Structure 1
Amino acid sequence: MQNGKLIIRRAAVLGAGVMGAQIATHLANADVPVVLFDLPAREGDKNGVVQKALDGLKKLEPAPAASADRLQYVDAANYDEHLPLLGECDLVIEAIAEKIEWKDDLYRKIAPHLAEHAIVASNTSGLSINRLAEGLPVERRANFCGIHFFNPPRYMALVELIPTEASDPAMLDTLESWFTTRLGKSIVRAKDTPNFIANRVGVFSILAVMHHTERLGLGFDETDALTGPRIGRPRSATYRTADVVGLDTLMHVVNTMKDHLADDPWHAHYRSPDWMNDLIAAGSLGQKSGGGVFKKVGKEIQVLDPVSREYRPSAAKLAPEVEAILADKSPAERFAKLRACEHPQAQLLWSIFRDVFHYCAVHLESIADSARDIDFAMRWGFGWSQGPFETWQAAGWKTIATAIQEDIAAGLTMASEPLPAWVFDLDGVHTPQGSWSAGSKTYLGRSALPVYQRQLYPETVLGEAVPDMGETLWENEGVRLWQHPLDRSVAILSFKSKMHAIGDEVLDGVLEALARAERSHGALVIWHQPPFSVGANLKQFAAACSAGDYNWLENMLAKFQKTSMALKYAQIPTVAAVQGMALGGGAEFMMHTMHRVVALETRIGLVESGVGLIPAGGGCKELALRADRLAKQASVGEPLDFVQAVFMNLASAKVATSALQARDMGYVQPGDDVILNPHELLYVAIRRARAMAEAGHHAGLSPRGVRVAGRTGVEALERTLGKLKEEGRISEHDYHVGRAAALALCGGEVEPGTVLDEEALLIIERQQFLALLKTEATQQRIAHMLETGKPLRN
């Protein structure tokens, strides 16, 4: 630490297993060089174990690396040869197998090589952090703690931070701040209890589902149909989740609870079912072994029958009466009806919610500082749309509490432990003043760490105070112009349309809002909750095509281009704060602002070819400008060399799956800000816009000397299309769409090296777009996309 700030110049990860290798890769995603250690290979290259793990990451989906170059920043090492490299590392994360004796041995080996200031952390999923600290010298323990990532580490927001009795509080604060901003993680501080918070509650929830599935005689596929998105849980539901996690891994976590929680009222249920033990013994561990509860036979998904222990086709359906109950919009009504309904599916749902509520209430004091920590842990670590306490409170706190107590008295619950007295004293655990702490018998507010001041609109729990939504300056049907108390010199523009699609009302709104901001503010930020924008409003295009109103379409397109150019050449700095998706016209708007602040996990692409069109809001023009600029920088290069690199992205509607990939594709520029914590997006964008204004940043001159590839470039790209068509990879209409993109990127059928300006390139875009829009095949694609949400190949 320097002046209270944590600086991580290099990190080390010990253990190149599934978690260790992915943690190392995510550090590289955050521009932190990493040394990844494991045991020396018995044969060949001693770094072979690590190298094999890194090679395996390239095949994983979703990809652990945010761009192809990230893995080159992970250096392979082994414990025999490279322990001195630890002296260069500021952060060391241990992620080996969950065996205390193995961790003790490793800590003894690394201790002499650690830098004096280094922070050491264990990624254990449930072992005692205080016990692990005993494996380190006494003088090292102040800089030791638990850091529990969830799988996959790049995508799962939750990291549980677990202090020991000796952990330095200042170290914990700086580490939490660093993980929050640099790695984009959502931190929950957990107590040193078995399996901490998320796994403790999450695994109990899985065990509760398994218990009631067996009690009610339901099939595993039937239970999964009930316990997925219909109740706010991930699509993998329960048994598919077990397969993804690995049945052996799940059993290990269950055994941790069994071995260390002997006095727990639910201890009798801390066991893996017989059918699971049999699958594990047979090597059917789930997804990683090719089958577990579910397996794929040919194209058919089969599920294990819990009675016969044979596989059968998976084809579960919800009972109509249960489907109707789940469709009720009132949480209180849903729970009342589920409890009253005698159908086994309804009884399963009531029972699993009731027992999880019961479990969380009893254990709140021992496992978490507040109810907020449990709710966020389940949302961020297990993908629940609401945490257990939020769900309970939404359904009517006292009504549900009474129902639970009645079921306890009737012997229907999984444990007979009474609800704590505080449950009946409250109307809910989340209030504007804070969330209930059973330990301190009061409502606790959020963390006061300065890092959280960067989150202007953080995630909130049900019942919590709503953040200040700012002062509205002007709005129309499509947009809202407003300012935030953080900096009233910066105007903020938010779209109001569905999925932030760009239609006529949005274009009018952007132009008017920009003009107002130029008169009264120093800068403009475009920001709203994700997605940034799914592109042009196809419904408006389809309606105009049906009416044959091509004059309206041409005027609309001209206005779209005018708006893009207004953002590019505004009299104040314009900054796009981009998160979620920026597709088609949304990507074009983003490309035309003077600066971009982009959340890492953003999907960006010019996808117009999917509906038989080309980018015509200035997207092709911007890529042509970039090709000319790169060619000039290369001295001996030609625009075609760089056009070819982006052409197939347009023709295939390729979408970057991260901001780093979007940078490689030319949609995000090298000087733009890529941030890993999306909750800091608006804060960073406002600060960036203010800095640009303070520095006197202004739009440059519109380039007039843009060299284009011309007809030679068009012919070269046509040859590529022709080959793809011959191979059956594209259709006849795909060919025509691709040729239109080639004309727009190459400046039309002019001589190679012809010099054009932006307006000329915009005209070509517009002409090609309108010509495609008049074709029957493109109109069919638009209609199909609007009807199904999927592209049509015709």
Structure 2
Amino acid sequence: MMNRSIKKVAVLGSGIMGSRIACHFANIGVEVLLLDIVPRELSAEEQAKGLSLENPAVRNRIVNTSLQTAIKSNPSPVYTKSVVNKITTGNFDDNMKDIAGVDWVIEVVVENLDIKKKVYEQIEKFRKPGTLITSNTSGIPIHLLDEGRSEDFKAYFCGTHFFNPPRYLKLLEIIPTPNTKPDIVDFLMHYGDKFLGKTTVLCKDTPAFIANRVGVYSIMALLHLVEKMDLTVEEVDKFTGPALGRPKSATFRTTDVVGLDTMINVANGLYQNCADDKARELFKLPDYVQKLAENKWLGDKTGQGFYKKVKGADGKSEILALDLKTLEYKPSQKIKSATLEATKPIENLRDRMKVFSKGTDKAGEFFRVSFYGLFEYVSDRIPEISDELYRIDDAMRAGFGWELGPFEVWDALGVKETVAAMKEKGNEAAAWVHEMLDAGNESFYKVENGIKKYYDIPSKSYKPIPGTEAFIILDNIRPTKTIWKNSGTTLTDLGDGIINLEFHTKMNTIGGEVIQGINKAIDLAEKDYRGLVIGNDGANFSAGANVGMIFMMAVEQDWDELNMAVKMFQNTSMRLRYSSIPVVVAPHNLALGGGCEFSLHADHVQLSAETYMGLVEFGVGLIPGGGGTKEFALRASDEFKEDQIDQNVLKNRFLTIGMAKVSTSGEEAFELGYLQKGKYAISMNRNRLLADAKEKAIELAEAGYTKPVQRKDIRVLGKQGLGIVYAGANSMFAGNYISEHDKKISEKLGYVMCGGDLSQPTLVSEQYLLDLEREVFLSLAGERKSLERIQSIITKGKPLRN
């Protein structure tokens, strides 16, 4: 890998994609210059102010408005508000000269070859030789873009296709031209993965590249299938959502969000440019889609598409679904299906796919018709769009949010049996699939010695997937490296003296089996290893304690049992901190309640950039009872300074718990006080998280890790602090901001954080605070209103404000 670093990038074009790509580079700490065109005429507002077209505010209006729109959008493209300070705005006329100082120029202007070529002429004038230049086009062949450019421009030019929104969608397609230097391609593949947190997929310069080619085929095939099988909008979305390991927005809802016009453009482009594609006719729009386009029912942007949101008679909003035959909207119908019911209890998606494929109702038939067509399509696309089958799976997972790519689903169903079943339905797998089976190779992937390999078609052998050697994938090592397990956790040996404990309960909630697993892991690590990582490959790190269990004990007034359970939880958090080996917790996505408390007690937190961390017990009428309240009192004490008002420090800590604040990114978890300076690091790429956590555990062990000593010097404010807590809770209650029960919880939370009603500030131990925390937790668990809140979360999944 050559020595090239990216300190500053220029993004040319500040539309929806440009502004968000700029934000994502700023997220990772890169300086960004964001440019767009100069307006041709004044806005009414500018005229009223008497400004001229020469005024700098007018000249940068387009770029500044776009950036502000992006920052205010939801979900946010930035990790924290301060990120925006890394972005400087300007315009093509005044600031193109400034690209001389950047390391990478990313062009994101409108999809028009002539306009792009004009922009490149400008770039050539100012760009210094050797600067990377890439285009985010999705519709124009990359090789057409560097025509007529200098040799140096061509050597450093490439397509880099980000998916929208660039912060959240993991796919980055890299499309070289015949002139792109190979080491530039290697650099972009590595930089995208390691620093931008992307799944980088090398693509050929074919229409729509990989993900959109297969993804739009899949949607268009569905749109035609709807007519053939007489399916409703609701049926399709029910059949193609989470049950299949696809996003909740499934098919039609996704189309509404993305915009029907966007999909039509890609489909039309594919129809025009893929004359030899035997599925070409599917890229033609069915009549009802044509009508939607004519009516300008393009989805969310026009207020209606396949769905429409209306206010009902009672003032509540209601979702209507389009009847595809009459093109009238009607109330959304609940869909019932025996096959779907049968898949519900099955956690493992591969096993669920088998049940789907055997279904005898509409859902089963739909599954077979759509997947057999998809299998035929993707097998036919090799080697046209990719020489390697794993790139197609990578692109579909990272770009369309499929949990399993097409070849992975095919493997799950059994390649051989499926090829025969496809034939019966009139679908034919590509010749290379038959050759693979004839040679005795039964699957597209296999795992050998913990390494996942793919079937390489030219060599007719299995090869390791390049780039994955830097990842630790638990699915691959679990079969051979498991050293202990119970019903909710598995302990695996990661090598180099480090072990990993993973949770696999529902939503990775924490109950007795997880507590037992953590204690067993620490016992074993202290005896035979040198460090422990707690991390998993689930959808979420942990949604917190198993509230159902707390509810049962409280309802049955099993107070001794509940007291023991809470004590065990607290002791486990304390063991994470006070064991003789380093413990690294590796959260991603949701890390709530107990999942957050374990992170608070780790020696180091190695977290995914997308981690949503918080102490949320307040919402179920409780306070953090696994050491979280104690820990926030301890951290407040460490922040007290001689010359400032301690109550303000305490108030900030108190409000974080009292308002159940959840971070919207890993970086924000630090700002909210869940992470401590020097004791956390962020992994941009979720796939690298466990490997990074293991590295950190090794580093702590090699630095001569010693067991810390429990704290007895925590300064609590007693009555001095309570006064401010009670006054705050009373004024919030008086202003109708909180209910009477919220007021009670606030006062009890304050009581623990102030160390009880001591007559003056006092130094106390961690154990003293843990006992208070547990006592208050139990007293709240006995309150009827807290139980109502817990019940609402369990039965409706909604917080209750009572």
Amino acid in the other structure paired with 2:236: T
**Partners of 1:627 and 1:643 within 8 A in 2:** yes
**Partners of 2:636 and 2:653 within 8 A in 1:** no
Counterpart of 1:378 in structure 2 is 396
* CA–CA distance in structure 2, aligned partners of residues 46 and 631 of structure 1: 48
Instruction: Give ranges in structure 1 of 5+ residues lacking alignment.
Output: 461-465
Q: Partner of 1:80: helix, strand, or coil?
A: helix
- Describe how 1:191-230 pairs up with structure 2 within 5 A: 191-230=204-243
- Alpha-carbon distance, 1:180 to partner: 0.8
* CA–CA distance in structure 1, aligned partners of residues 254 and 743 of structure 2: 42
**Partners of 1:605 and 1:654 within 8 A in 2:** yes
The percentage of aligned residue pairs carrying the same residue is 36
Q: 1:129-159 CA deviation, whole Å, 9 max, x = no partner?
A: 1112225322122222111111211111111
**Partners of 2:108 and 2:136 within 8 A in 1:** yes
Amino acid in the other structure paired with 1:692: L
- Alpha-carbon distance, 1:394 to partner: 2.9
Amino acid in the other structure paired with 2:454: S
Q: 1:195-238 CA deviation, whole Å, 9 max, x = no partner?
A: 01110011111111111223344333343333333433322222
Runs of 4+ off more than 6 Å: 321-328
**Partners of 2:241 and 2:250 within 8 A in 1:** yes
TM-score normalised by structure 2 residue count:
0.89
- Describe how 1:97-112 pairs up with structure 2 within 5 A: 97-112=110-125
**Partners of 1:5 and 1:174 within 8 A in 2:** no
Q: 1:587 to 1:41 in 2, by over 3 A?
A: same
* CA–CA distance in structure 2, aligned partners of residues 501 and 231 of structure 1: 23
Residue 19 of structure 1: which of 17, 20, 31 is its match?
17
**Partners of 2:436 and 2:460 within 8 A in 1:** no
Amino acid in the other structure paired with 1:645: N
Q: Partner of 2:743: helix, strand, or coil?
A: helix
Counterpart of 1:268 in structure 2 is 281
- Alpha-carbon distance, 1:660 to partner: 1.2
Residue 431 of structure 1: which of 440, 445, 460 is its match?
445
Residue 95 of structure 2: which of 79, 82, 87 is its match?
82
Counterpart of 2:51 in structure 1 is none
**Partners of 2:501 and 2:517 within 8 A in 1:** no
Amino acid in the other structure paired with 2:622: L
1:244 aligns with 2:257: yes
Counterpart of 1:645 in structure 2 is 652
- Alpha-carbon distance, 1:624 to partner: 1.9
* CA–CA distance in structure 2, aligned partners of residues 748 and 322 of structure 1: 53
- Alpha-carbon distance, 1:637 to partner: 2.2
- Describe how 1:502-651 pairs up with structure 2 within 5 A: 502-530=510-538, 531-632=540-641, 635-651=642-658
Q: Partner of 1:81: helix, strand, or coil?
A: helix
**Partners of 1:107 and 1:135 within 8 A in 2:** no
Counterpart of 1:781 in structure 2 is 789
Q: Partner of 2:72: helix, strand, or coil?
A: coil
* CA–CA distance in structure 1, aligned partners of residues 371 and 689 of structure 2: 35
Q: Partner of 2:660: helix, strand, or coil?
A: coil
Q: Partner of 2:29: helix, strand, or coil?
A: coil
- Describe how 1:357-436 pairs up with structure 2 within 5 A: 357-408=375-426, 419-427=429-437, 428-432=442-446, 434-436=453-455
Q: 1:297 to 1:688 in 2, by over 3 A?
A: same
* CA–CA distance in structure 2, aligned partners of residues 752 and 110 of structure 1: 68
Counterpart of 2:663 in structure 1 is 656
* CA–CA distance in structure 1, aligned partners of residues 116 and 416 of structure 2: 46
Amino acid in the other structure paired with 1:163: P
* CA–CA distance in structure 2, aligned partners of residues 471 and 419 of structure 1: 36
**Partners of 2:356 and 2:367 within 8 A in 1:** no
**Partners of 2:521 and 2:532 within 8 A in 1:** no
* Bigger mean CA deviation after superposition, 729-738 or 178-187: 729-738
- Describe how 1:306-385 pairs up with structure 2 within 5 A: 306-315=324-333, 317-318=335-336, 331=353, 334-335=356-357, 337=359, 348-385=366-403
Amino acid in the other structure paired with 1:453: E
- Alpha-carbon distance, 1:683 to partner: 1.4
Counterpart of 2:75 in structure 1 is 62
Counterpart of 1:463 in structure 2 is none
* CA–CA distance in structure 2, aligned partners of residues 190 and 222 of structure 1: 34
* CA–CA distance in structure 1, aligned partners of residues 553 and 492 of structure 2: 32
Counterpart of 1:36 in structure 2 is 34
- Alpha-carbon distance, 1:170 to partner: 1.6
**Partners of 1:188 and 1:373 within 8 A in 2:** yes
Q: 1:382-407 CA deviation, whole Å, 9 max, x = no partner?
A: 12232222323333433433444444
Q: 1:578 to 1:203 in 2, by over 3 A?
A: same
Instruction: Give ranges in structure 2 of 5+ residues lacking alignment.
Output: 43-56, 312-316, 448-452
TM-score normalised by structure 1 residue count:
0.89
Q: 1:580-601 CA deviation, whole Å, 9 max, x = no partner?
A: 3222122112111121111111
Q: 1:651 to 1:63 in 2, by over 3 A?
A: same
Q: 1:429 to 1:193 in 2, by over 3 A?
A: farther
* CA–CA distance in structure 1, aligned partners of residues 546 and 762 of structure 2: 34
Aligned residue pairs, count: 767
Amino acid in the other structure paired with 1:110: I
**Partners of 1:365 and 1:437 within 8 A in 2:** no
**Partners of 1:709 and 1:753 within 8 A in 2:** yes
Counterpart of 1:682 in structure 2 is 690
- Alpha-carbon distance, 1:469 to partner: 5.6
* Bigger mean CA deviation after superposition, 377-386 or 278-287: 278-287
Residue 456 of structure 1: which of 472, 478, 483 is its match?
472
Counterpart of 1:136 in structure 2 is 149
Counterpart of 1:762 in structure 2 is 770
Amino acid in the other structure paired with 2:406: P
- Alpha-carbon distance, 1:23 to partner: 1.4
Amino acid in the other structure paired with 2:470: R
* CA–CA distance in structure 2, aligned partners of residues 9 and 148 of structure 1: 21
- Alpha-carbon distance, 1:622 to partner: 1.8
Residue 321 of structure 2: which of 289, 294, 303 is its match?
303
**Partners of 2:342 and 2:355 within 8 A in 1:** no
